[in-house]
Amino acid sequence: MIQRRSSVMIAGAVLLGAVSLGGCATKKYVNQQVGVVQTQVATHDTKLQELDATTRDALQRADAAGKLAEGKFVYSMVLSDDSLKFPISKATLSPETQARLDAFAAKLKADNRNVYVEVQGHTDATGSDEGNMRLGEERAEAVRRYLNHQGVALNRIGVISYGAEAPVAPNTNRAGRQANRRVVLIVLA
């Protein structure tokens, strides 16, 4: 029994030694694994440097575009509901509006300057936000198309809709809502 116990203990010690030796990594294996990790780190560092260069390039282009966009304000013209007379929820131009836009286009052509026109569409607060944004854009786009037909180049006209976001009067009464239904023309040099 004692002999059997000592044989089991010896066998267990041999088995434990074999398992523990199998768990040890050789120096060659460790160096290979460290080399792989170092290669991956170097690759990632190179990619980060490339991204950093790309980021710097994008920032420089954005700065340059910002400087170009910082046009000098020349003048503006507000076409409010009394002169535009847009039908309710429509974007068609009345004859009075067309006459005012004719004069505006003639002034732009007479000045013969390298200008940019921003057409801003505004609405009152009646209706949904999404509907007001769409209506403001449709009205501004109608003005843009009309100006183009009068000889103003499309690449010099930008359209933006503010919907009901930038009121000039309270939307609590008819006069306020009427003042908020407008198209603003901003001329930048």
Distances in Å between the alpha carbon of 128 and those of 59, 122, 132, 160?
37, 13, 6, 18
Q: Which CATH topology does 72-188 take?
A: 60s Ribosomal Protein L30; Chain: A; (3.30.1330)
Q: Tell me the pTM.
A: 0.58
Per-residue pLDDT of the chain (189 residues; tens, 9 = 90+): 566 666 666 766 666 565 555 556 677 877 777 777 788 877 877 877 777 777 777 666 666 555 555 556 666 766 655 555 566 677 778 888 888 899 888 988 887 677 888 999 988 888 899 999 999 999 899 999 999 999 888 888 999 999 989 888 888 888 888 888 888 888 887
CA dihedral (109, 110, 116, 122) in degrees, to 10, reads: -80
Sketch the domain layout of the chain as residue ranges. 30-70, 72-188
CB 185 within 8 A of CB 117: yes
